[in-house]
Amino acid sequence: MLMTRPNMQGISPFFIVSNVDQTIAFYRDKLGFETRFQEPDRDPFFAIIGRDGVQLFVKSDKDVLPLPNPERHPSMRWDAYVDTPDPDALAAEFADHGAAFSEPLKDTHDGLRGFEICDPDGYVLFFGRPRAFPVRRQSVRKAFATYTICSSRRPADGRRNPSRQTLASAKACCQVPE
């Protein structure tokens, strides 16, 4: 009997913030989010803010400070990845609303196109998408297969690592810097 797999619709990061009203205003005015829920109506301590299929839960407590990922470790900057099919248009919209970019719109070294925005409490959101693959689709499949073999398990022939030449071609196809 074939069973269907239950579907998931999204994920909502939960940010501890210093001031819910300030957070709502930033996401509304700079990023076009709406307030979907807040409690209480005046001087809220909790809110759900969102835009399209994206939403965040935010909460403040006088005894708990925000702790964005960049404060934990500088190389783990993102607190949320927001997938968008057109990061160029979204960046233009955000710029028109006066949003400041912590990283400008660009093609990243890890195969993405997008930009970063830092909110008032230091949470970093990356808005972007995977870049289009190179024309050599067969080479890309081989490169990802090589990466999978290297990173997760031993290849069928028992070698621990593929040859340098195979790794070099995989990096070239995936646009991974040496």
Q: Are residues 89 and 161 part of one domain?
A: no
Find how far residue 143's CA is from the centre of its chain: 23
Rounded Cα–Cα distance for residues 77 and 70 (Å): 5
10 Å CB burial of residue 57 (0-12, 13-18, 19+) is middle
Q: What's the pLDDT at 24? A: 98
**Structural domain of 144:** 137-173
| Cα angle: 93, vertex 14, 102; to 5 degrees | 40
Query: Chain-wide mean pLDDT for the chain?
Result: 81
Residue range 86-103: average pLDDT? 97
In a domain, 6, yes or no: no
Rounded Cα–Cα distance for residues 134 and 138 (Å): 10
Q: Are residues 101 and 85 part of one domain?
A: yes
In a domain, 45, yes or no: yes
DSSP annotation of 61 reads B
Q: Are residues 148 and 91 part of one domain?
A: no
CATH at residue 120: 3.10.180.10
Rounded Cα–Cα distance for residues 170 and 163 (Å): 11
In a domain, 1, yes or no: no
Q: What's the pLDDT at 136? A: 42
Q: Are residues 157 and 93 part of one domain?
A: no
Q: Are residues 110 and 52 part of one domain?
A: yes
Q: Are residues 45 and 102 part of one domain?
A: yes
In a domain, 5, yes or no: no
Contact in structure between 160 and 152 (CB atoms under 8 Å): no
In a domain, 34, yes or no: yes
Q: Are residues 89 and 159 part of one domain?
A: no
In a domain, 4, yes or no: no
Identity of the amino acid at 30: K
Q: Are residues 99 and 47 part of one domain?
A: yes
Lay out the sheet containing 54-59: strands in order across: 14-16, 54-59, 46-51, 34-39
Contact in structure between 27 and 2 (CB atoms under 8 Å): no
Identity of the amino acid at 23: T
Q: Which carries the bigger pLDDT value, residue 42 or residue 174?
A: 42
DSSP annotation of 51 reads E
Q: Are residues 50 and 95 part of one domain?
A: yes
Q: What's the pLDDT at 55? A: 97
Tens-digit pLDDT profile for residues 39-83 = 999 999 999 999 999 999 999 999 999 999 999 998 899 999 999
Q: Are residues 159 and 84 part of one domain?
A: no
pTM for this prediction: 0.72
Residue range 103-131: average pLDDT? 97
DSSP annotation of 128 reads E
Q: Are residues 78 and 36 part of one domain?
A: yes
Q: Are residues 114 and 142 part of one domain?
A: no
Residue range 97-121: average pLDDT? 97
Tens-digit pLDDT profile for residues 144-170 = 444 433 333 444 444 444 433 333 433
Rounded Cα–Cα distance for residues 47 and 14 (Å): 10
Query: What are the structure tokens assigned to 11, written together?
Result: 């994920």
